[in-house]
Structure 1
Amino acid sequence: MNRITLLSCCVAALLQGCGTLAPDFERPAASVANDWPQGQAYKPSTFSAQSTVAELGWRDFIADDNLRQLIELALANNRDLRVAIQNIDKARAQYQVQRADLAPSVKVSAGDTAQRTAATLSGTGEPKISRQYSVGLGFASYELDFFGRVRDLKDAALQTYLGTEDARRNTEISLIAEVANAYLTLAADQARLKLAQETYRSRSESLKLTQRSFDLGASSAVALNQARSSSESARADIASYTTQVARDENALTLLVGTALPRSLQVRDLEQSVVTTRELPAGLPSQVLQARPDIMQAERSLRAAYANIGAARAAFFPSITLTASTGSASSSLDGLFKDGSGTWSFAPQLNLPIFDLGRREANLDIAKLNRDIAVAQYDKAVQTAFREVADALAQRGTIDEQLAAQAAVVAASSESLKLTDARQRAGIDSYLALLDAQRTLYSAQQSLITVRLARESNLITLYKVLGGGLQPGKS
């Protein structure tokens, strides 16, 4: 067999390895409704199917420049996102390793072997030194992929790699939402701190007036202690919200991954930090296609299908080839002369006969992993559907709740003015004035909470609808 014949045999063998025993992939039917829930809690306008949130990049969605700056810093410095990116690099390397098994690993070798024969064995009475030089080109233990085992393992590695890409995208959009919500929480607690400070100043002035009235004998000790209690309560809130603001800043620093800019100015919650245009919900199928966590679940399912093919292939014989061609000579100058050529060809057949059920167990494991992946995919779809439905339900009622709470604040403020005038005129007691003050303070705090909920809902809705995840949009 000459070198050309050997090479032809190898190429022919390579071309035969094109089959696969993996079952055809079937995406599970969505175990959710075809439309989002309907009812009093939902706005009809949010069900527009003309476009999807995935087409809206986060830079277009976020309207506040300071928040944009923080998100940019987080995307560059957050450690969770760095881990996700490093996992991508790791999976890519593993895929490259697995894909390399599809082709033989060709190596060039060169060697020099020297041997000294003892004088008693040389036949000449003198010690003899012999040398052999060789140069070769070949490959070793290359498996012919007749039944697709290597190809299925490569496909499984590819799906794992693509799944890490989806995981990174999911981590990125989650990070954007977390930074935005942390920013909003900081803004809300700053607003609560400012309200507590203003309330404390107002109640301190009221306490001074009550103290003066008590000193003149016009007010009772009960009224004085009530005024003092009200003032101290506001002072306690100042201390509490001061601590909370510091914690909010620490949480935001952790998400951003670096020190917050000294020039950071948090926008007032009365001004929206995101775009005010309506976010279209689209159809459930569109949302499921846009969410990276569902894409990742599908990748895992595809990898499980490929692993079944690899487990099935283990029941069939495997053929490995080792072949080389080159030149050998006892002298270095004769290494490439006529007659120095060498070659070797060593095919090996491995036929499994008995392994105490190992292959059957591996196939069962592969099928069970596929069933687990199907269940995980269904759970991811159902979870996504619920997250969107919950966000849409809140979106449908939050504006009405905000308007109602603003009306409560306005009414409480007017009631306080009237009660203050009546108390000064001696018509109402000081207790009535304190109740009016507490009512207004509580209403103002609730208004801050509702404003925070409205902004957070927009962020959450943008996230669960797969916003900004299309290539080039992030």
Structure 2
Amino acid sequence: MKRNRNSYRLLLVGILVVLMGGCTLAPKYDRPATPVPNSWPTGAAYQEAKPDVPMPAPDLPWREFLPEERLQKVIEIALKDSRNLRLAALNVQRAQALYRVQRDELFPVVNAAGNWTKKHIPADLSSSGHILTQESYSVDFGISSWEIDFFGRIRSLKDAALEEYLATDEGRRNTQILLVSEVANAWFTLAADGENLKLSRSTFEAQQASYNLIRKRYDVGLASELDLSQAQTQVDTARRNVAIYTQRTAQDLNALTLLAGTPVPSELLPSELNGVSPPKEISAGLSSDVLLSRPDVLAAEHRLKAAHANIGAARAAFFPRISLTAITGTASADLSGLFKSGQGTWSFAPQIVLPIFDARTWSAYDVTKVDREISVTRYEQTIQTAFREVADALALRGTLGEQLTAQESLVEANARTYRLADARYSKGIDSYLNVLDAQRSLYSSQQVLTALRLERFTSLVTLYKVLGGGAEEDSRYQ
């Protein structure tokens, strides 16, 4: 007899395992076809640079991609103190907890309850015709309204919650990619504006010295008032440029501080772009399939899978829903007799609800199907946007080299022109207007050269970002 009871228990456990681990009514998931070409664009604008590192961008640690040690330390500070990344990590924890809540719906809720009831009954309501005081005690232990998931409704909702959690985690990884790239670009921008500030100050000093010289010549009648006035305009322009780049460097530092989440130590700040170690050259590879590993694309795919799971839950709503309530306990009129032999109680109440007509069920099912199509469209749109971002970054990198070479040659030519114009004016051969034009051209070309060098740095960072680089795992957010 004991063996039979054990067999029944094993059978019951087996049935529960089968019921809780069965299939769902969700449609089979097939990844949509990639709506972009398999290879990157080609042409004059897409000249492939020789990469410094052979590994794909998603596998390249940002510390190796960005060899500048000061910048590495600033990024480490940002990864620790950035509020954006901290908020993304908290959202992951929240999504994980919501998933556990939905998963735990598969398991019965077991409760224990104790009751004490004391009732006064008047004589005219008493069966004995006398005033009665009734007292009862009970202790119950059992399962209250546990839905047995025959058709996978709860499992489908659990799968949807899991995919939402995974999508949120990919969002955190994407936030880290953006943070690394934004900190690097802000740091390089601060370096470039610091270089422009240094150039503006040196230009102002040169213009002031030139003005003082012309003033002396004017005082002895060797320079005209027009020359003196033109020199004054150059001094004022240079002074204004110093103020502009003083403002910009301050704003750049504010932006970097916001990204880092805390003030950045001064020894980690760049003063100019010269001498800064540039990012490594990387390759986009031959196939655009690398985009499928980008966190934002993976997040969109997880949400598409969640939409499939929601269809399964909506389909299960058309089938019967079975729930079970089972309670066992003990009861007695006296507290002392509560746990005596023969005082046991039990109840077993299975319930089945068969949907006959509920128009909302069909509407909800239609909503889940439309949600799936929306998720497919968003997934495809995310891939197309990613392809465009990489293509733009490749086009920029492919043409920047030629722009830099031409601009460096232009700066050298303008420097020679300025030296010759200044020498001719000093000898009285030419007017000061030519010196002013040469100065303006030289200063402008030097600014453009600095801007192009900054653009080269930031274009490499952007290419690394859009290829999915910089998302290495960090134990603080696991």
Matching of residues 399-438 of structure 1 within 5 Å: 399-438=401-440
User: Per the alignment, in what secondary structure is the counterpart of residue 268 of structure 2?
Assistant: coil
Opposite residue 442 of structure 2, the aligned amino acid is L
Gaps in structure 1 of 5+ consecutive residues:
none
Aligned equivalent of 2:118: 114
Is 1:373 the counterpart of 2:359? The answer is no
Among 312, 318, 321, the alignment partner of 1:315 is 318
Matching of residues 55-454 of structure 1 within 5 Å: 55-122=59-126, 126-266=130-270, 268-276=272-280, 278-355=281-358, 357-454=359-456
Q: 2 CA distance for matches of 1:102 and 1:284?
A: 43
User: Per the alignment, in what secondary structure is the counterpart of residue 362 of structure 1?
Assistant: helix
Q: 1 CA distance for matches of 2:49 and 2:68?
A: 25
The C-alpha deviation readout for 1:263-313, integer Å capped at 9, x for no partner, is 33315323344443x312124454223310001000110000101111111
**Given the superposition, is the C-alpha separation of residues 187 and 47 from structure 1 closer, same or farther in structure 2, using an over 3 Å criterion?**
closer
Among 29, 47, 57, the alignment partner of 2:33 is 29
Q: 2 CA distance for matches of 1:49 and 1:156?
A: 39
The C-alpha deviation readout for 1:122-174, integer Å capped at 9, x for no partner, is 45565433332222221111111111110000000000011110001101110
User: Per the alignment, in what secondary structure is the counterpart of residue 25 of structure 1?
Assistant: coil
TM-score w.r.t. structure 1 length? Answer: 0.93
Gaps in structure 2 of 5+ consecutive residues:
none
Identity %: 49
Contact 1:290/1:469, CA 8 A, preserved across alignment: no
Aligned equivalent of 1:466: 468
Is 1:12 the counterpart of 2:8? The answer is no
**Given the superposition, is the C-alpha separation of residues 413 and 402 from structure 1 closer, same or farther in structure 2, using an over 3 Å criterion?**
same
Q: 2 CA distance for matches of 1:393 and 1:118?
A: 95
Opposite residue 299 of structure 2, the aligned amino acid is Q
Question: Which is further off, 209-218 or 120-129?
Answer: 120-129
The C-alpha deviation readout for 1:163-209, integer Å capped at 9, x for no partner, is 11000110111011111111111111111111111001101111111
User: Per the alignment, in what secondary structure is the counterpart of residue 266 of structure 2?
Assistant: coil
The C-alpha deviation readout for 1:2-44, integer Å capped at 9, x for no partner, is 9987996686366335231110111110011111111122233
Contact 2:156/2:310, CA 8 A, preserved across alignment: yes
Q: 2 CA distance for matches of 1:333 and 1:436?
A: 109
TM-score w.r.t. structure 2 length? Answer: 0.93
User: Per the alignment, in what secondary structure is the counterpart of residue 101 of structure 1?
Assistant: helix
Contact 1:49/1:282, CA 8 A, preserved across alignment: no
**Given the superposition, is the C-alpha separation of residues 47 and 254 from structure 1 closer, same or farther in structure 2, using an over 3 Å criterion?**
closer
Opposite residue 200 of structure 2, the aligned amino acid is A
**Given the superposition, is the C-alpha separation of residues 30 and 273 from structure 1 closer, same or farther in structure 2, using an over 3 Å criterion?**
same
Q: What is the aligned residue count?
A: 471
**Given the superposition, is the C-alpha separation of residues 325 and 15 from structure 1 closer, same or farther in structure 2, using an over 3 Å criterion?**
farther
Contact 1:48/1:282, CA 8 A, preserved across alignment: no
